Structure formats: C-alpha cells, structure tokens
Amino acid sequence: MISSGELSGLGMPDIDASSPLGGLGEVELQHPTQDIDGDGILDTDTTTSGDGSVQVWTDYDDDGSADHVTVVEEDGDYAAWEFHRYPDGTSEWVRTDQGRIGN
C-alpha cells in the first residue's frame, strides 16, 4: 500500500475563501489524516488546491461527513463554514467567519 499526503484529499471540493458553499451538500471525509480533538479517531483532512489555498475539513461527530471547514488562501483571505443538518432532512453550509489574516 502506498499512502502519502499527496493522495489525501482526492475527491474533496476545491473551494476558496470566496466560494459560496450554501448548496454544496454533505462532504464525505474519505481520507482523514489528523486527530484534532485527540480521541484517537482521525477526524480532519487538509487539502490544497492549485491556486495555493488550503482547506481544513473536520468531522466533529465522527459520522464520516465534514461538519466544519476553514479555507485559507495564499494571500491571507480566509473563511470558515459550518455544516447544519435540519430536522426536516435538509442541510446547508453556513458561513461563520470571513476575513483576512494579519490585518
């Protein structure tokens, strides 16, 4: 089995800080590589896109789909989004933060 960081993130949405995620829908974390909350279960996948932006996808409840994403562009623009699931079966991504690092 060959496994490297370069392979992680395949199939993840390619987004930047200004991408509207409202209709993106559920995002499966196929290859989580980090354990952010330290419970021994991998929950976070960091992906990069061609333009230099970095996306950090985190699955807080370990159900396999991302609940939070932070996007940071090369020039410091960033945005954070939370995935909300509603009782009527619908779901959406809601932006929780946006700005520019270092200014």
User: Which residues lie near Ca ion (CB under 5 A)?
Assistant: 35, 37, 39, 41, 43, 59, 61, 63, 65, 67
CB 45 within 8 A of CB 9: yes
What phi, psi does 93 have (nearest 5°)? -90, 130
Smallest separation, CB 103 to Ca ion (Å): 32
Instruction: Please give the C-alpha separations between residue 41 and each of 44, 62, 80, in angstroms, as whole numbers.
Output: 9, 8, 22
Task: Please give the residue whose beta carbon sits closest to Ca ion in the complex.
Answer: 43
Nearer to Ca ion, 6 or 61 (CB): 61
Q: Which is nearer to Ca ion, 85 or 95 (CB)?
A: 85
With respect to Ca ion, which residue has the nearer C-beta, 38 or 50? 38
Least distance (Å) from Ca ion to the CB of residue 32? 8
Cα–Cα nearest to 84, from 96, 99, 97: 96
